[in-house]
Amino acid sequence: MTELTKHEPTTIYIKPSTGFTALNLRDLWLYRELVFFMVWRDIKVRYKQTFLGAAWAIIQPVLTMIALYFLFDRVAKLPTDNVPYPIFSYTALLPWGLFVAALNQGSRSLTSNHNMITKIYFPKLILPLASVLAGLVDFAVASVILVVLFFYYQVTPAWELLWVLPLFLLLAIITAFGVALWLSAINVKYRDVNYVLPFLTQFWFFATPVAYSAKAISEEWQLVYSLNPMAGVVNGFRWALLGIGNGPDTALWVSVGISVLILVSGLFYFRNMEKTFADTI
Amino acid sequence: MTTAISVKNLGKQYKIGAAQGKFRYGMLRDVFVDSLTAPFRYARSLVGRSDNRQLTNGKNFIWALNDVSFDLEEGRVLGIVGRNGAGKSTLLKILSRVTEPTKGTVSVRGRVGSLLEVGTGFHPELTGRENIYMNGAILGMKRAEIDSKFDEMVEFSEVGQFIDTPVKRYSSGMYLRLAFAVAAHLEPEILVVDEVLAVGDAEFQRKCLGKMSDVAQQGRTVLFVSHNMSAILRLTQEAIVLKKGQLIKRAPTPEAVDFYLSSGQAESGERVWDVDEIPAASAPFRPISLRLQDGSGKVVDTVRSTEPVTVEWEYQLHAPVTGLRVGMYLSTMRGEYVFTTFDTDDAKQYDQFGARQAGRYISRCSIPADFFNEGRYSLGVNASSFGVKRYFMDENALSFNVDISGAPGTQWPEVRQGPIRPRLDWKIQKLD
């Protein structure tokens, strides 16, 4: 026998859970390798049997940028804080693309892996988590275009602020993960989520200053506007990369607060629904 | 000896009402409508006019497992037998923590490995090598553990040269062998096995059984569910018998198997339909019983391939039916169809019985000797009027074993491919 089976086995107690379920993040830690493998599988198979392969990670945001450019810059002539519109919109499309992909994949992660859920025990949190993290690779690939744009338009990035960029990236991931936790758990029982998702992302897109500048929002609405954590993310990206805006202010902390609230409530909701997944999926 | 598994008053309740509805899973709409109409229903029940939903409420729940208790010592191999729906799979699912019990407790000492379904998490686009790592991680193996057993798994699966090919290019046999290879090398303290032997060819099944007895001899605790009594007898020392969610017998395996077979709840070559098993939509057709008989007319669950077999289906028509055809599908346990046949296939029979009066009937079919190959087969039944209506269908009404002693070619102890094993007319001619 191998040495792995020699250790003194631990005893597990199985009983009906009553009331409130604790988060049990220790289990998630024990299964950390599975998170890695799930992310790896998602990345590996994402563009299999496509002609353009990983180029899709670039094509999608670039085409969106071009469409927005014609619509909002050439036609509507929106103000962009004196930054060329392509760079202005692409700095926002990067985190937005990550967010949308994470939200969509994460919300469908339980139903698309239903055979795992009904056959094998593992912390189900792994599924939405891995789906959300897998989006980071596309994000990294798409970022290359931003570098190209900086060179092309001879814009100097705000170097001294670049180090805060990962923090805003984290905010985007936390928001996507939090919402995906809610939606994926609801999706197990109510497949309506599949139909809600396209609308949700569409409305959310207009409520986020991706195509336009956050300054277009009048002063009295700013605080309401910051209830959308993605507004904080997009403004943060523009601030860190282009030096536009004020940087961290009350509005950002409201965004962070909302995002953490969604995440924590999502974690507890998910954990409390988890015991019914295998029976209802 | 220490106790590996201790089960106390275990129960699992399932809601069956939802599955009977038009939609398989819940819709928000239903919840809204339900909560909107709730006050009206309540008001109606107050004035004494309760509606159907409340009357059937008690029936919408079934106890898939009820008040089951047993202890199992470390290193023992326990067989679990019972009919379909007796609660065997539910018990294994609770032990492997896939689903939660409704009541009762279980304490399990050590890691539980489950072979509930081999190949879970396999992705068709990934190669064999990648799937081994993926599947191993899903089953709870550490990367280092998979590394150290990788060669052994590949060897066991016999897919060696295709290990870097995407598994979507694999044959179903290769896929299955690879999947089982990963699961079989898990080496948990407790192994839970559910009917893996129902899939794969005879050669593969032999290999799985061999692997399982190795595991048992290494002193690990094994729970083994199977409909295959000879496998249960060979691999387990002790067995429990489940019936309708309850544990009705625990004994040394030969005694438990004997009890199971003689208590009339085994799949004994006869299937009798209770009234509440028949969907309302099948009227005016009502199936009564299906029997499998050997050459001498005895009802059997194991037939000899060298003898003819008769299948008898008894049924009642509550009203005249035109164009009726009553028949069966034969398939292997792997799900391949062997044939489909109906009682009015013959034109003369159709003229006489195409339109049938109300009454009780038996449709009888003879399958000639020297037809079946070794293994287990499944009989499905069907009653329909072509292009009009399918009254009744049960895809898996009865299953039976075939014993091939004396069949053509049995002088060579090898597996013969194919679902049938006919005795054909061979002539050998010397040319010079």
Q: What is the pLDDT of residues A185-239, one digit of tens each?
A: 999 988 889 999 999 999 999 889 888 888 877 777 877 888 899 999 999 999 9
Average pLDDT, integer, range A92-97: 94
Most confident of B51-65, B248-262, B267-281: B248-262
Chain B residues whose CB is inside 8 A of the A48 CB are 125
pLDDT confidence of residue B277: 73
Site from A5, A120, A194 to mutate, B interface, most B CB atoms within 10 angstroms: A120
pLDDT grade for B39, boundaries at 50, 70 and 90: low
Distance from CA of B188 to the nearest CA of A (A): 7
Q: Does B14 contact A115 at a Cβ distance shorter than 8 Å?
A: no
Does A121 lie at the interface with B, CB-CB under 8 angstroms?
yes
CB of A120 less than 8 A from some CB of B: yes
Task: Give the range with max mean pLDDT: B202-206, B300-304, B330-334, B355-359.
Answer: B355-359
Which chain A residues are within 8 Å of B102, Cβ to Cβ? Answer: 16
Task: Give the mean model confidence (pLDDT) for residues B6-17.
Answer: 84
Least Cα separation, residue A270 to chain B (angstroms): 15
Query: Which chain B residues are Cβ-neighbours of A119 within 8 angstroms?
Result: 98, 114, 116-117, 120
- Per-residue pLDDT averaged across B99-108, rounded? 91
Task: Identify whether the C-beta of residue B221 lies closer than 8 Å to the C-beta of residue B191.
Answer: yes
Q: The pTM is what?
A: 0.72
Contacts of residue A144, defined as CB under 8 A and 6 or more positions apart, other chains included, come to A58
A18 close contact with B: CB closer than 8 A: no
Instruction: Report pLDDT for B31.
Output: 63
Kind and range of the H or E element at B287?
A: strand B285-293
pLDDT score of A259 = 95
When mean pLDDT is compared over A76-85, A236-245, B357-366, B383-392, the highest value belongs to: B357-366
- Is the CB of residue B139 less than 8 Å away from at least one CB of chain A? yes
Inform me whether the pLDDT recorded for B57 exceeds 60: no
Rounded to an integer, what distance in angstroms lies between the CA atom of residue A164 and that of residue A150?
A: 19
Domain count, chain A: 1
What strand order describes the sheet that includes B270-272? B270-272, B285-293, B309-317, B359-367
Phi, psi (deg, nearest 5) at residue B267? -80, 95
The string of pLDDT tens digits covering residues B364-394 is 999 999 999 888 788 889 999 888 888 998 8
Looking at residues A126-153, what average pLDDT do you find?
A: 92
pLDDT at B9: 93
Averaged pLDDT, B1-14: 88
Q: Do A119 and B125 touch (CB under 8 A)?
A: no
Residue of B nearest to A7 (CA): B110
For chain A, percent of residues with pLDDT exceeding 90: 41
Contacts of B120 in chain A (CB under 8 A): 115-116, 119-120
What is the predicted ipTM?
Answer: 0.81
Please report the pLDDT score of residue B85 as a whole number.
74
Contacts 24+ apart (CB under 8 A), B15-21: B15/B60, B15/B61, B16/B60, B16/B61, B16/B62, B17/B56, B17/B57, B17/B59, B17/B60, B17/B61
pLDDT confidence tier of residue B89, bands split at 50, 70 and 90: confident
Does B295 have pLDDT greater than 60? yes
- How many Å lie between the alpha carbon of A259 and the closest alpha carbon of chain B? 26
**Dist CA A42 CA B397 (whole Å):** 41
Query: CB contact, 8 Å: A45 with chain B?
Result: yes
pLDDT of residue B23: 42
Q: Are A112 and A80 in contact (CB under 8 A)?
A: no
Mean pLDDT of chain B: 81
* Across B57-61, B71-75, B344-348, B422-426, least confident range: B57-61
In the structure, what pLDDT confidence band is assigned to residue A130 with cuts at 50, 70 and 90? very high
Whether B28 sits inside 8 A of A192 (CB atoms) is yes
Domains and CATH numbers, chain B: 63-262 (3.40.50.300), 270-403 (2.70.50.60)
Structure confidence at residue B428 (pLDDT): 94
Stated as kind and residue range, the H or E segment containing B221 is strand B221-225
CB B310 within 8 A of CB B366: yes
Out of B97, B126, B189, the one facing A14 most closely (by C-beta) is: B97
Average pLDDT over residues A84-95: 92
Interface of B with A in 183-242 (CB under 8 A): 187, 189, 218
Chain A residue with minimal CA distance to B11? Answer: A16
The rounded radius of gyration (Å) of the Cα atoms in chain A is: 21
Give the number of C-alpha atoms closer than 13 A to the C-alpha of residue A111, restricted to the C-beta side: 20
- By percentage, how much of chain A surpasses pLDDT 70? 96
Res A223: pLDDT = 76
* Contacts B146 to A, Cβ<8 Å: none
Q: Judge whether residue A20 has pLDDT over 80.
A: no
CB within 8 Å: B126 and A119 = no
Domain that holds residue A73: 3-280
State which residue of chain A sits closest to B94, comparing Cα positions: A14
The reply to whether B111 touches chain A by the CB within 8 Å rule is yes
DSSP state of B5: E
- Residue of B66, B12, B195 lying closest to A119 (CA atoms): B195
Instruction: Establish if A15 touches chain B: CB-CB under 8 angstroms.
Output: yes
Nearest-neighbour CA in chain A from B28: distance (Å): 6
Nearest to A14 among B14, B26, B108 (CB): B108
What average pLDDT does range B43-48 have in this prediction? Answer: 56
- The pLDDT confidence band at residue A51, using thresholds 50, 70 and 90, is confident
Average pLDDT over residues A170-183: 95
Query: Residue B390 is inside which H or E element, if any?
Result: strand B389-403
Of A119, A279, A281, which is closest to B116 when you measure between CB atoms?
A119
CB-CB under 8 Å, A190 with B98: no
Q: Average the pLDDT over each of A19-33, A85-99, B131-145 and give the range with the smallest value.
A: A19-33
Q: Is A122's CB within 8 Å of B138's CB?
A: yes
Q: Chains A and B: how many Cβ contacts under 8 Å?
A: 120
Is the pLDDT at B411 greater than 60? The verdict is yes
Which of A16, A44, A275 is the closest to B103 by Cβ?
A: A16
The pLDDT assigned to A267 comes to 94
Q: Which of A14-23, A202-211, B185-194, B307-316 has the lowest mean pLDDT?
A: A14-23
Nearest CA distance, B368 vs chain A (angstrom):
41
